[in-house]
């Protein structure tokens, strides 16, 4: 049975440092009040269903007020990081895009005469690798869509290779594998044996991608995150803590890597 979305509401509170917008999310699984700063959604407060906001939710406002310094500090850091990512303007002149954990220059050029679909090639340059989007006249997709499709294909190939490598060692047999654009998880595993991964893992260093694959394969043997589970993960990736931290710290960068579509400078034919 599909999981029913948990209720959410957007609110705002006046704090000494100014107004703060936040999302209140009720959760039947939560045991206590919790706040996180989501790279995409901002401040998210999770409230146990048994403590659904009443009387204006004053207890939530007091909870946030006690943590205002921490919240402001991290929101400012996120804003600076977002500005740095936007400045890369991947589809503008001199644009940069992340791939395999490294920044690549991105160029848009016309494809060869008669080319029916746009394609992407990776080439080495003197000071930085480049990704070149070769545009076919008949292809109605944007350059962003073309590049994302190419990343998805590369992600599937890389992830399938890691699954083939690690599944026998872990003694598991995945039933199916899908590549998606999950916003809150890099991967997931179902008891049925179905695995799902974010295509954005291909933007991260290969070790980070490998760590997520091992993590989800391990769930096919042990569900939950108890000591036995982490011992199993560490048997393949003893450095898993390092790469899980890397993914947390670079979540905003990975989700914003392609940025919005921008008007493209026509390349000379």
Q: Could you read off the pLDDT of 27-82 as tens digits, one per residue?
A: 877 788 889 888 778 899 988 877 665 545 788 889 999 999 999 998 988 888 88
Lowest mean pLDDT among 11-25, 77-91, 194-208: 77-91
Residue 106 is predicted with a pLDDT of 94
**263 falls within a domain:** no
- 75 and 123 in a common domain: no
Count of domains forming the chain: 3
- Residue with the larger pLDDT of the pair 79 and 131: 131
**264 falls within a domain:** no
**115 falls within a domain:** yes
- 70 and 23 in a common domain: yes
Alpha helices in the chain (DSSP H): 58-66, 68-86, 143-170, 206-219, 227-236, 240-249, 251-255
Please tell me whether the overall predicted TM-score, pTM, comes out greater than 0.85 for this model.
no
**12 falls within a domain:** yes
- Residue with the larger pLDDT of the pair 51 and 104: 104
- 82 and 29 in a common domain: yes
CATH number for the domain that contains residue 234: 3.30.2010.10
**What mean pLDDT value characterizes the chain?**
87
**63 falls within a domain:** yes
- 130 and 103 in a common domain: yes
For residue 123, give its domain range. Answer: 96-142
As a whole number of angstroms, the distance between CA 229 and CA 227 comes to 5
**129 falls within a domain:** yes
Instruction: Render pLDDT for 239-265 as a digit per residue (tens, 0 to 9).
Output: 999 999 999 989 989 998 997 544 333
- 170 and 249 in a common domain: yes
Percent of the chain with pLDDT over 70: 90
As a whole number of angstroms, the distance between CA 90 and CA 224 comes to 39
**1 falls within a domain:** no
């Amino acid at each position: 049975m599909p999981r029913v979305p948990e209720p959410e509401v957007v609110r705002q509170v006046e704090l000494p440092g100014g107004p703060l917008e936040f999302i209140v999310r009720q959760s039947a699984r939560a045991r206590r009040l919790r706040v996180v700063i989501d790279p995409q959604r901002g401040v998210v407060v999770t409230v146990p269903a048994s403590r659904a906001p009443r009387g204006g939710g004053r207890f939530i406002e007091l909870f946030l007020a006690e943590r205002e310094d921490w919240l402001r500090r991290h929101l400012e850091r996120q804003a600076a990081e977002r500005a740095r990512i936007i400045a890369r303007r991947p589809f503008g002149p001199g644009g940069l895009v992340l791939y395999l954990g490294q920044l690549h220059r991105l160029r848009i050029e016309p494809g060869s005469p008669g080319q029916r679909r746009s394609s992407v090639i990776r080439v080495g340059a003197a000071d930085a690798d480049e990704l070149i989007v070769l545009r076919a006249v008949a292809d109605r997709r944007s350059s962003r869509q073309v590049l994302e499709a190419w990343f998805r294909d590369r992600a599937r190939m890389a992830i399938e290779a890691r699954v083939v490598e690690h599944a026998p060692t872990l003694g598991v047999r995945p039933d199916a594998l899908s590549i998606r654009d999950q916003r809150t998880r890099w991967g997931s595993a179902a008891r049925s044996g179905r695995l799902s991964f974010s295509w954005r893992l291909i933007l991260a260093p290969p070790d980070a991608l490998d760590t997520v694959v091992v993590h989800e394969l391990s769930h096919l043997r042990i569900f939950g995150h108890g000591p036995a589970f982490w011992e199993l993960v560490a048997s393949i990736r003893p450095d898993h803590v390092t790469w899980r931290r890397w993914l947390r710290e670079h979540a905003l960068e990975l989700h914003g890597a392609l940025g919005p579509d921008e008007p493209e400078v026509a390349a000379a034919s």
